[in-house]
Chain A
Amino acid sequence: MNLQVNGKTQEVSAQNLELLLAELGYSDRVATAVNEAFIPKASRADTPLKAGDRVEILAPMQGG
């Protein structure tokens, strides 16, 4: 199915958020949101994904 991951369309097979991070090769140190709602790490495996979902995967970055 196609998801919007960090603003780009990606075809993936993962059925939940935890599996998506593994499928795309992300490290553990990220924070996640699906359809503009924060998903805590502990809830990723319980967060199913469906086609068209908007997933944000954020990491520590430089800031002022």
Chain B
Amino acid sequence: MRDFYGISLNTPLMLGTAQYPSPAILADAFKASKASVATVSLRREGAGGGGQAFWDIVRDLGVHVLPNTAGCHTVKEAVTTAHMARELFDTRWIKLEVIGDTDTLQPDVFALVEAARILCDEEFQVFPYCTEDLIVAERLLGAGCEVLMPWGAPIGTGLGLSNPYGLRTIRARFPEVAMVVDAGIGLPSHAAAAMEMGFDAVLLNTAVAKAGDPVGMAKAMALAATAGAEGKAADPMPPRDMAEPSTPVIGQAFLS
């Protein structure tokens, strides 16, 4: 069983905390899904203290907190944000995002590797948001990452697993490494497909928060992720091109 820097998760669902219609719906979505990890961010605080109220809600969820460096475009920005997150959330976990393209929010994998190396050297436990590129994965592992988070599709698109071959390949190439499919998941079937491939968790936000019924979708995602994981563990049959009768042929009556 692969774990996340020594932490075993109760459920394979990591859920974002942004874009919900209300704080109450956010909390209900977490309860319905039993998500094991909540992603959070850091943003400028007004003197009114809105961040404190949000933090109170997240703390009450009783889940692992994974702060991100969303919106960072340079190594320096990401590393500084990680330092601030470590102090603010009192965790060594950091979801490392270094964005390289504003349209697709594709990670700048070169800066990502550089930032990961700096943070791993400083004993952060880095969850790098990466592509499915094998060489990038290798470099991230070499930098000290013990978890990889390849994208399913660009953030917020809900397109699902846009490169199943690439995801299958990265999963197979690094069998000991805990991996999360992060971003792009729009439907429960996408979450199940990722888990059936052997990923250890899925991380999603928009698919739940922007659903007509976020709580219902959170539950559906949890069921799908768990179904996919259990299906993978049960060793699925290999597919074949030609039909094979499942009902015994021997003993069939001659009636024609």
Contacts A60-B88, A61-B41, A63-B67 given; does A36 touch B55 at CB 8 Å: no
Q: Is the CB of B205 within 8 A of A60?
A: no
Q: Is the CB of A38 within 8 A of B68?
A: no
- What is the number of residues of chain A that contact chain B, defined by CB distance less than 8 Å? 25
Residue of B nearest to A7 (CB): B44
Q: Is the CB of B44 within 8 A of A6?
A: yes
In this assembly, does B225 line the interface, its C-beta being within 8 Å of a C-beta of chain A? no
In this assembly, does A45 line the interface, its C-beta being within 8 Å of a C-beta of chain B? no
Measured CB to CB, the closest approach of chain A to B106, in angstroms, equals 16
Q: Specify which chain B residues have a CB less than 8 angstroms from the CB of A62 in the assembled complex.
A: 16-20, 26, 40-41, 54
Q: Is the CB of B84 within 8 A of A58?
A: yes
Compute how far the CA of A63 lies from the CA of B95 in the bound complex, rounded to whole angstroms.
11
Measured CB to CB, the closest approach of chain A to B46, in angstroms, equals 8
Q: Is the CB of B42 within 8 A of A60?
A: yes
In this assembly, does B51 line the interface, its C-beta being within 8 Å of a C-beta of chain A? yes
Among B47-82, those with CB < 8 Å from A are 47, 49-52, 54-55, 58, 67-68, 70, 76, 80
Give the A-B contact count at a CB cut-off of 8 A: 103
Contacts A61-B51, A61-B54, A63-B40 given; does A33 touch B45 at CB 8 Å: no
Compute how far the CA of A26 lies from the CA of B18 in the bound complex, rounded to whole angstroms.
23
Residue of A nearest to B49 (CB): A27
Q: Specify which chain B residues have a CB less than 8 angstroms from the CB of A40 in the assembled complex.
A: 83, 87
Which has the most chain A C-beta neighbours within 10 Å: B17, B26, B42, B67? Answer: B42
Measured CB to CB, the closest approach of chain B to A25, in angstroms, equals 5
Contacts A33-B80, A37-B80 given; does A60 touch B51 at CB 8 Å: yes
Q: Mark A2-32, 1 if CB is under 8 A from B, else 0.
A: 0000110000000000000000111101111
Contact of B18 among A25, A27, A64 (CB under 8 A): A64
Task: Supply 21 A–B pairs (Cβ within 8 Å), ascending by A.
Answer: A7-B44, A27-B52, A32-B84, A33-B84, A36-B80, A40-B87, A56-B44, A57-B44, A58-B42, A58-B51, A59-B51, A62-B17, A62-B40, A63-B16, A63-B17, A63-B18, A63-B70, A64-B16, A64-B17, A64-B39, A64-B41
